[in-house]
Amino acid sequence: MLASSALSVFLGATVALASVARVFEPSTLSVDSRRCGTFISEEDIIAAEKHFEANKVSLMDRPQAKRAPGSAAIDVYFHVISADSTPEGGVLSDDVIDAQMSVLNDGFAKSGLTFALANVTRTLNDDWFSNAGPNTTQQDDMKQALRVGRADALNLYSVGFKNTDHLGYATFPVNYTDNPWDDGVVFLYSSVPGGAMVNYNEGKTLTHEVGHWVGLYHTFQGGCSEPNDYVSDTPEEANPTSGCPSDAGPSPDTCPSTGVDPIHNFMDYSYDSCLDEFTTGQNSRLKDQLATYRHIQI
């Protein structure tokens, strides 16, 4: 849920405030954690990883630079959903979309992956804006109406999540084959750079969710037990991180294994200001995931 301070910042009109009061609960406004809605059970992870191991198209297996330099850009289809025609109602300007794309590209710069805006659609639909979320008919309708491209196309949907407290959620590469129409990232419109979602308004929610879309799990997946997130150079951590603990002192170290918690990793739950890295291991995994399931070779 939005914090009441954020709510009053971006809702100038009392009329608007009154009309949204039923869906927001201002008392829960202090969002102290990222609340990603991307879901996969431990059981399904084991099955998915077995499939990945058996079918992996590895970096080692293919000649580099099969594509011309610069052609590895992923086409991005950005679907802006809004409740009305105002920024408060979900409209994102072209400048904001460009700023969000820059944050996304900066986040993945070390991986060699780049994202190019291929198209922007703008849809006025209060029901989708308010209610599209994991397992809802609204998200099904929205995606079936708007999704374009194949496995290698990234479809983004910015929405309001008025009835849930998600910042975003994504599908994994392994999900594409069964439900191509479902593939993509749905994220909170106010998480964009300069948006109203305090502490989560530098655009890194999208970086995190695209991290799932390229095949990464949370760094806290599996807690202190191997194989956690299936990446060897992200230290184990017992729980998602809240806030940015290193601002106040040393980074927490919640598991006995080597290394402090990866609180600066995009796949943790820290504040946007705290997040600035994917590891070498994550970059290697995402390239193999993309080559295996999305036919993208970097």
Ligand X SMILES: *[C@@H]1O[C@H](CO)[C@@H](O)[C@H](O)[C@H]1NC(C)=O
Residues at the site binding ligand X, with contacts judged by CB under 6 A: 37, 39-41, 44, 48, 77, 119-121, 134-135, 148, 171-172, 174-175, 179, 182
- For 154, the 3-state DSSP assignment is strand
Nearer to ligand X, 186 or 196 (CB): 186
Residue 228 and residue 105: Cα distance in Å, rounded?
Answer: 26
In angstroms, give the least distance from the CB of 197 to ligand X.
Answer: 19
In angstroms, give the least distance from the CB of 94 to Zn ion.
Answer: 27
Question: Taking CB under 5 A as the rule, does residue 241 contact Zn ion?
Answer: no
**Sign of the alpha-carbon torsion through 22, 30, 136, 15:** positive
Token digits for 233? 């150079």
CA distances from 90 to 62, 82, 126, 154 (A): 43, 4, 10, 20
Binding window for Zn ion (CB under 5 A); candidates: 19-27, 38-46, 150-158, 227-235: 38-46
Tell me which residue has its CB nearest to Zn ion: 36
Residue 288 and residue 92: Cα distance in Å, rounded?
Answer: 33
Nearer to ligand X, 142 or 274 (CB): 142
Q: Which of 7, 31, 38, 191 binds Zn ion (CB under 5 A)?
A: 38
Nearer to ligand X, 62 or 150 (CB): 150
In angstroms, give the least distance from the CB of 38 to Zn ion.
Answer: 4
In angstroms, give the least distance from the CB of 185 to ligand X.
Answer: 11
Tell me if residue 209 is catalytic.
Answer: yes
Contact partner, 36, from Zn ion, ligand X, none, Cβ < 5-8 Å per class: Zn ion
Distance of CA 289 to the CA centre of its chain: 16
Contact partner, 114, from ligand X, Zn ion, none, Cβ < 5-8 Å per class: none
Residue 156 and residue 291: Cα distance in Å, rounded?
Answer: 21
Name which of residues 18 to 37 contact Zn ion (CB under 5 A). 36
Tell me which residue has its CB nearest to ligand X: 44
The count of residues in the chain is 298
Contact partner, 171, from ligand X, Zn ion, none, Cβ < 5-8 Å per class: ligand X
Q: Within the chain, how many helices (H) and strands (E) appear?
A: 8, 5
Contact partner, 5, from Zn ion, ligand X, none, Cβ < 5-8 Å per class: none
Question: Taking CB under 5 A as the rule, does residue 171 contact Zn ion?
Answer: no
Token digits for 72? 């590895």
Nearer to Zn ion, 155 or 297 (CB): 155
Nearer to Zn ion, 36 or 214 (CB): 36
In angstroms, give the least distance from the CB of 20 to ligand X.
Answer: 22
- For 264, the 3-state DSSP assignment is coil
Residue 3 and residue 151: Cα distance in Å, rounded?
Answer: 36
Which DSSP state fits 216?
A: P
Nearer to ligand X, 39 or 112 (CB): 39
Residue 174 and residue 190: Cα distance in Å, rounded?
Answer: 29
Q: Is 294 exposed, middle or buried (0-12, 13-18, 19+ CB in 10 A)?
A: buried
Which DSSP state fits 94?
A: H
Q: Please tell me which residue in 209, 236, 237, 277 is annotated as part of the active site.
A: 209
Question: Taking CB under 5 A as the rule, does residue 197 contact Zn ion?
Answer: no
| Residue ranges that bind Zn ion, judged by CB under 5 A | 36, 38
Catalytic residue numbers, as ranges: 209
